[in-house]
Structures are given as structure tokens and as C-alpha cells.
């Protein structure tokens, strides 16, 4: 018969399980909650931006720099792994700073652990926006991940991209290798695959995990669980513009609907001009007839 667990034993097991969950959650933190991508407000220009060493707009230094690895703004360790020892005193400001990250453009504190590990584990190493192709140093906003394709997005393009992300780069839901209906869709390649062509030959798949895309390796999703749509082409009258037209601008397909209100106004003016022209022609004809009659009378006399 097994021994009955004591209260101390149960408490130790619960604490061990809790520490395991914390370590697992630390590796799966969302990008918006990381200290290197936190919100910062400049002390001088009062503009909100991503956490960085210098203000993106006025280039001023923050009064309380925040570490992009651990997120602290004040070092209170009396005996720790600080590179610069400060026994008995707490450090803030530039006294806590040890380096600047080359990827996220933010301060790194003088902790030995942050200085050694942050450059290798920075989440913004290749954080270039998939829409505008700008990196962290090219804009002052924060970086986000697309909910569907997991690509990096800047603060300006995140909503517009996610609204149009579930669109295939093909005109139907058929598989790329055959004409059967695609049951699995890759949100990064924007393609569909059937049950046979989504699996590679000679490779064993885990039933508990999602099937990776055979082209890029990204996890595929079932098409029926997504709001996927196909790419459409709009032919015919695609431009319905009302206003002044510039002859120098390159316009696309212009149909019957490309007339402007000014054109309609010009037509009315042309009609009025035609009426005046007709009246002038009648007057000219009357004058010519009078001249002909005068000439005939002169000849008779």
C-alpha cells in the first residue's frame, strides 16, 4: 500500500507544476506584451511610440529608460549579477543602462543575464512589415503579428492586412496539384491542398499536431473552418470618377460611367451656343436677301 502524501509533499508538487506552467507561458508570450515592444510616451514631445532608446520624433532620451529584456526601470538588486556593482544604492536612468539592442532599438540593463541573452533571443530580429517592408528603425510604431499568417505587421498596416489575409492567390478552391477540392489551406502561401497532396511521401505525421504546408512548412488549417475567399477579377467599367480629368494622368479602363458633372454642364452650354448660332444664321440670311433685292431694283432702273 503506497504511503499517504503529506501536506508538505502536496505543496511541493503543486509548486513544481506551477513553475512548469510559468516557464511554458514565458516562451509563448504574445508579441504585444514583450518589454521590447511595449508602449512608450516621450517626455518632451508627448508622442506614443514603441519602447526605444531615443525618441523617434525628437531624438530625446527618456528620463526612466526601460530594459527591453526584463522590463524593469529601476535596479534594486544589492547583490546580483549586475555588471556595474552598486551595493547599498538603487540605480535608475542611464546608471542602469548597459547597452542598446541592434534589433529592437531599446535599452538593455546592466544585468549580465540580459546582456548575454537578449541579443540572441530578441523577438524583433527580423521584424520587417510584410506589407510596407519597413523594419523597426524605419517607423515609430509597434510591431504586431498577423493572427492568421503570423507575419510581422507595423502599426499602420495591421488592421488592413488582417481584414484581407484570408484570400487565396487562385480563382478556385481546387488543389494545386490536381482538380480535387482543397481540404487544407496554407494561410502563408495562400494555396489549397487536398488530402493526398498535403502529405509528403515517406514522412510520418503526428496525429495530434497540424499538418505542415508542403511548400513553406507553415501549419495548415482546414478550409471549412476558415472564411477563405478566392481572388476575383473585375472587368469592364472599373473607374467611375466624377470630377475634372487630367490628360497627363494614366487612367485605367474607362467606360460609359466616366462622365463628370462638368461634361453635362458643357453639353447644356453647347446647346445654348447652338441656339444662338442658329439665330445669327437666320439674321445673316435675311440680310443677304435684302441685298439681293436692292441689286435687282438697281438693274431694272
- pLDDT tens digit sequence for 188-215: 888 888 888 888 777 777 777 888 888 8
Output 257 or 33, whichever has higher pLDDT.
33
Strand partners for 254: 239
Other CB atoms within 10 Å distance of the CB of residue 271: 9
pLDDT for the residue 182: 81
Query: What's the rounded Cα separation, in Å, for the pair 65 and 57?
Result: 17
DSSP category for residue 244? P
Window from 53-62, 230-239, 271-280 with minimum mean pLDDT = 271-280
Q: Report the DSSP pairing between strands 191-193 and 184-186.
A: antiparallel
Extract the runs of DSSP E, i.e. beta strands, from the chain: 39-41, 48-50, 74-75, 91-92, 97-100, 107-109, 143-145, 152-154, 184-186, 191-193, 221-222
Instruction: Report how far apart the first and last C-alpha atoms of the chain are (Å, whole number).
Output: 155
pLDDT for the residue 108: 92
In angstroms, the Cα distances linking 288 to 278, 281, 291 are 15, 11, 5
Indicate the pLDDT class of residue 272, thresholds 50, 70 and 90.
Answer: low
In angstroms, the Cα distances linking 154 to 38, 71, 189, 242 are 14, 21, 20, 34
Q: Pick from 169, 147, 156, 160: which is nearest to 215 by CA?
A: 169
The answer for 135, left when phi > 0, alpha when psi is -120 to 50, beta otherwise, is beta
Average pLDDT over residues 246-272: 48
C-alpha cell at 274: 447652338
In angstroms, the Cα distances linking 233 to 161, 186, 252, 258 are 19, 22, 14, 20
C-alpha cell at 298: 438697281
> Would the pLDDT of 42 be above 60?
yes
Query: What's the rounded Cα separation, in Å, for the pair 108 and 119?
Result: 9
Indicate the pLDDT class of residue 172, thresholds 50, 70 and 90.
Answer: confident
Indicate the pLDDT class of residue 230, thresholds 50, 70 and 90.
Answer: confident
Window from 2-6, 219-223, 266-270 with minimum mean pLDDT = 266-270
CA angle 148, 151, 153 (to 5 degrees): 105
Window from 98-102, 129-133, 296-300 with minimum mean pLDDT = 296-300
Other CB atoms within 10 Å distance of the CB of residue 100: 15
> Would the pLDDT of 273 be above 80?
no
- The phi and psi torsions of 192 (rounded to 5 degrees) equal -115, 150
- pLDDT tens digit sequence for 106-133: 999 998 888 988 888 888 888 899 888 8
Amino acid at each position: 500500500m503506497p504511503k499517504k502524501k503529506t501536506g508538505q509533499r502536496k505543496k511541493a508538487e503543486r509548486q513544481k507544476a506551477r513553475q512548469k506552467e510559468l516557464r511554458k507561458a514565458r516562451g509563448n508570450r504574445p508579441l504585444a506584451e514583450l518589454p521590447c515592444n511595449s508602449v512608450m510616451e516621450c517626455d518632451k514631445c508627448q508622442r506614443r511610440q514603441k519602447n526605444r532608446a531615443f525618441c523617434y520624433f525628437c531624438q530625446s532620451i527618456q528620463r526612466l529608460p526601460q530594459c527591453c529584456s526584463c522590463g524593469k526601470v529601476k535596479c534594486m538588486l544589492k547583490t546580483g549579477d549586475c555588471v556595474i556593482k552598486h551595493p547599498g544604492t538603487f540605480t535608475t536612468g542611464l546608471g542602469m543602462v548597459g547597452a542598446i539592442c541592434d534589433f529592437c532599438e531599446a535599452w538593455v540593463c546592466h544585468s549580465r543575464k540580459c546582456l548575454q541573452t537578449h541579443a540572441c533571443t530578441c523577438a524583433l530580429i527580423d521584424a520587417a512589415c510584410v506589407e510596407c517592408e519597413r523594419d523597426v528603425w524605419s517607423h515609430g510604431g509597434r510591431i504586431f503579428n498577423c493572427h492568421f499568417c503570423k507575419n510581422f505587421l507595423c502599426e499602420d498596416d495591421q488592421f488592413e492586412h488582417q481584414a484581407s489575409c484570408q484570400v487565396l492567390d487562385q480563382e478556385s478552391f481546387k488543389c494545386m496539384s490536381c482538380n480535387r477540392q482543397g481540404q487544407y489551406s496554407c494561410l502563408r502561401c495562400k494555396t489549397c491542398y487536398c488530402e493526398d497532396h498535403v502529405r509528403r511521401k515517406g514522412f510520418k505525421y503526428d496525429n495530434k499536431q497540424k499538418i505542415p504546408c508542403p511548400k513553406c512548412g507553415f501549419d495548415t488549417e482546414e478550409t471549412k473552418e476558415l472564411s477563405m475567399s478566392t481572388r476575383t477579377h473585375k472587368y469592364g467599367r472599373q473607374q467611375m470618377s466624377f470630377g475634372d480629368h487630367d490628360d497627363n494622368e494614366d487612367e485605367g479602363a474607362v467606360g460609359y460611367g466616366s462622365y463628370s458633372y462638368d461634361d453635362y454642364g458643357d453639353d447644356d452650354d453647347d446647346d445654348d451656343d447652338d441656339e444662338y448660332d442658329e439665330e445669327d444664321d437666320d439674321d445673316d440670311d435675311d440680310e443677304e436677301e435684302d441685298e439681293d433685292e436692292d441689286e435687282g431694283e438697281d438693274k431694272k432702273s
